[in-house]
Structure 1
Amino acid sequence: MKKDQLPTGRRMVLRIAAALGATTTVGLFAPDRLAPGPATTAPGPSTTPPGRSPTTRPRTATAPPAAAGPPARARHAPSSYRLQPMTAEAPPRYRRAAPPVRQRPFLRMSGTGRTMVLSFDDGPDPRYTPGILRTLRAHGVRAMFFVCGGMAVSHPDLLREMAADGHVVGNHSWSHPNITKLAPSAIRDELGRTSELIERHTGAPPLWYRAPYGAWNRHSFRIGAELGMEPLAWTVDTLDWTEPGTQTIVSRVMEGAAPGVVVLSHDAGGNRSQSVAALRTYLPRLMDAGYHLTVPRR
C-alpha cells in the first residue's frame, strides 16, 4: 500500500510520529570485528579500516542531540508478510535500560570520520535476506537487521546467521502493527515476545528497536526501555518498498551519504529483489568513497 492510498487518519498518525523524531544522535560506534586493528572503547568510531558490521554492546548511548537535519519520514508500509501469530508462552522477562527513558528515537550517529550505518527492516525472508547477508559478508561489513518476530519464528536459521556474521539483530515488533494504536499490554507482547525469540536463537537480547512505520509513542519508549532497548529511526530512506527500480535506490543512498547517516532499506514485506541488487552496487561505491560502514554501540 502506498502512502497516498492510506486512510487520512493513518497518514495523520504517521506524520505526527515522524514529527516526534526530531534529529537525535547516537554517539557510540561498535568496533569493526571483521577487520584487524585496535578498537576504541570510548565514544566515537572504530579505529579499524573501512568495513561494515552491525553489533552493538555498550550500555546506554548518552550522546547529545545532533545539529538539525532531515527528519525521519514515517511512511514506509511494506505490502505483504508471512507472519506467524504469537503463541501462548511464558511472559517475556524484562530488563530495564539505564535511565533516562528517551522521548524520541535516535536518527543518526555521531562521531568522527565518514561513518555510516545500513539497516534492513521486516525480515528475515529466505527469498531476500540471504542475498543481503552474502553481499555484506563479501565486503567484510556488518549491518543492522530489525526483524519481525512473526517472520523470524519461521526462519531462526537466518537469525543465527545474522548473529554469527556479527550483525546487530534489532526488534521490529512481532506483527508490524502501528504501535500508537495499541494498548500498553499489546505493545509489551509485540516487543517482548520478539526480544525473547531473538535471545533464544542468537544468545543475546536485542539492544535496539525500531517502531513499524516509524510511529512511536511514550508507551513504546517506556516499554522498549523496560526490555533494555534503545529506539533507532533513520536519516536516509531508500523508499525501496515502493519498488522504484534498482538504480533509483542506489541513487538515493549515494545522494544521501554523509557522516552519521543511518540508511533504511527492507529485506522483506514484498518483492525486495531490487533492494538486494542495489546493495551490491552502492556498498562498494560507499567504501570506495571512504565511508566506514559500522554500527552503533551501547
Structure 2
Amino acid sequence: MLTRRRALLAGAAAVGAAGTAVALGTVPAREPVRPPAPGPRPHRAVQPSAYRLRPLTGYGPPGAAPARTPVRREPLLHVPAPGRTMVLTFDDGPDPRYTPGILDTLARYDVRAMFFVCGEMAENNRDLLARMADEGHVVGNHTWSHPLLTRLGRRRIRREMERTSEIVDRAYGEPPRWFRAPYGAWNRAAFQLGAELGMEPLAWTVDTLDWTEPGTRTIVDRVEDGAAPGVVVLSHDAGGDRSQSVRALRSYLPGLLDSGYHLTVPRRGPA
C-alpha cells in the first residue's frame, strides 16, 4: 500500500514526465510552423500541478544536481531555525505498545517529531512507519540492532545502516536522510558511511534519560528546564517500559506550546 508521501511523489514524477514528452514533440522536423487561423481559441482548463503539493524546502530549480552529503567530524547537536524552535526526537522504536500513544499526542497538538527507528523493530511494525509518513513526521536511521558501532568493522556498520534504510524506504515511502548512532557512540566510519548513504548525523541537546525510568515528573522537568531555541530533545518510544515517556509528553508538550515554542522537524531534499 502506497503511503501518501509516495503517492504525491509518484504523481509529481508523472506530471514532469508528461511535460517533457510534450515539449519534445511539439514541432515536426523540416516543416515550417504556420500561424494559427484567426478567430476565437477554445478555452482549455488548467489542471492543478502536483508540484504545488510539494514542500518548498528541500527542492532546488528543475534539473539541479543533488547536493552531496558532507562527511562530518561530529554530529549536529541542534537545529538552527528562527524564533523559539525546538525538535522532539524518539529513539529505538517503533513499539506498538508506546509509539501509538506518542503519535496520538503529537496529532492532538498538530506537532511533528523525529523518530530514529531500529530496523528490527521497524520490520514488524511497518504500519507505524506508514502512519509517521502520513502525519508528517521524519524517520531517521538508528541501525538495525542497536549495536555499539565503535566495536564494529566497516562492513558490519554499513550492513546495519543499509538494512534499516531499506525497510524505511519501503514502509515510510523514502529512505532516511538522518542518522543517529546508538548510545551516541560515533566514529569516523559511522560518519563516512552515513554520508555515503545520504544521511546527516544528528545527536541531541537535552537528554531526558527516560530510559532509566526516573518518573514522569522528572522527565517533564528535564524537558522544561532545558527548553531553548534550537534544542533537540532525546526521548525513547521503545527499548523498555516507556509508559513514563508517553505520559511525560502529554504533560510538557502543551506547556511548551503555551510558552511560545514551535515544535518542528528539520527538512532535507533528496540525496
Relative to the length of structure 2, the TM-score reads 0.75
Question: Tell me, what secondary structure is at the counterpart of 2:211?
Answer: helix
- Give the counterpart of 1:249 among 201, 210, 219: 219
For structure 2, the 5+ residue unaligned runs are 1-54, 60-65
Q: Compute the displacement of 1:112 (Å).
A: 1.8
Aligned to 2:126: 156
Matched residues, number: 209
Aligned to 2:115: 145
Q: Compute the displacement of 1:97 (Å).
A: 6.5
For structure 1, the 5+ residue unaligned runs are 1-54, 60-95
Determine whether 1:185 maps to 2:155. yes
Question: Tell me, what secondary structure is at the counterpart of 1:188?
Answer: helix
Q: Give the aligned residue type for 2:219.
A: I
Q: Give the whole-Å Cα distance in 2 for the aligned partners of 1:130 and 1:97.
A: 34
Aligned to 1:71: none
Q: Give the whole-Å Cα distance in 2 for the aligned partners of 1:212 and 1:240.
A: 15
Q: Give the whole-Å Cα distance in 2 for the aligned partners of 1:144 and 1:129.
A: 12
Q: Compute the displacement of 1:264 (Å).
A: 0.1
Aligned to 2:192: 222
Q: Give the whole-Å Cα distance in 2 for the aligned partners of 1:250 and 1:291.
A: 15
Q: Compute the displacement of 1:111 (Å).
A: 2.3
Aligned to 2:68: 98
- Tell me the alpha carbon deviations over residues 10-42 of structure 1, each in whole angstroms, 9 at most, x when there is no partner: xxxxxxxxxxxxxxxxxxxxxxxxxxxxxxxxx
Distance 1:56 1:213, change over 3 A: farther
Q: Give the whole-Å Cα distance in 2 for the aligned partners of 1:133 and 1:252.
A: 21
1:108-123 correspondence runs (5 A): 108-123=78-93
Report if the CA contact (8 A) 1:147-1:171 is conserved: yes
Report if the CA contact (8 A) 1:208-1:230 is conserved: yes
- Give the counterpart of 2:105 among 112, 118, 135: 135
Aligned to 2:235: 265
Determine whether 1:207 maps to 2:177. yes
Relative to the length of structure 1, the TM-score reads 0.68
Question: Tell me, what secondary structure is at the counterpart of 2:150?
Answer: helix
Q: Compute the displacement of 1:100 (Å).
A: 3.0
Q: Compute the displacement of 1:58 (Å).
A: 2.8
Q: Give the whole-Å Cα distance in 2 for the aligned partners of 1:56 and 1:170.
A: 21
Q: Give the aligned residue type for 1:241.
A: W
Q: Give the aligned residue type for 2:105.
A: T
Q: Give the aligned residue type for 2:241.
A: N
- Tell me the alpha carbon deviations over residues 158-183 of structure 1, each in whole angstroms, 9 at most, x when there is no partner: 11111111100000000000011110
How many percent of aligned residue pairs carry the same amino acid? 69
Q: Give the whole-Å Cα distance in 1 for the aligned partners of 2:265 and 2:122.
A: 21
Aligned to 2:58: 58
Q: Compute the displacement of 1:202 (Å).
A: 1.3
Q: Give the aligned residue type for 1:176.
A: H
Aligned to 2:165: 195
Q: Give the whole-Å Cα distance in 1 for the aligned partners of 2:172 and 2:89.
A: 18
Higher helix residue share: 2
Q: Give the whole-Å Cα distance in 1 for the aligned partners of 2:244 and 2:56.
A: 28
- Give the counterpart of 1:124 among 79, 94, 112: 94
Root-mean-square deviation over aligned CA pairs: 1.8
Q: Give the aligned residue type for 1:213.
A: Y
Q: Give the aligned residue type for 1:125.
A: D
Q: Compute the displacement of 1:135 (Å).
A: 0.2
Question: Tell me, what secondary structure is at the counterpart of 2:132?
Answer: helix
Q: Compute the displacement of 1:56 (Å).
A: 11
Report if the CA contact (8 A) 1:249-1:275 is conserved: yes
Q: Give the whole-Å Cα distance in 2 for the aligned partners of 1:146 and 1:246.
A: 22
Determine whether 1:279 maps to 2:242. no
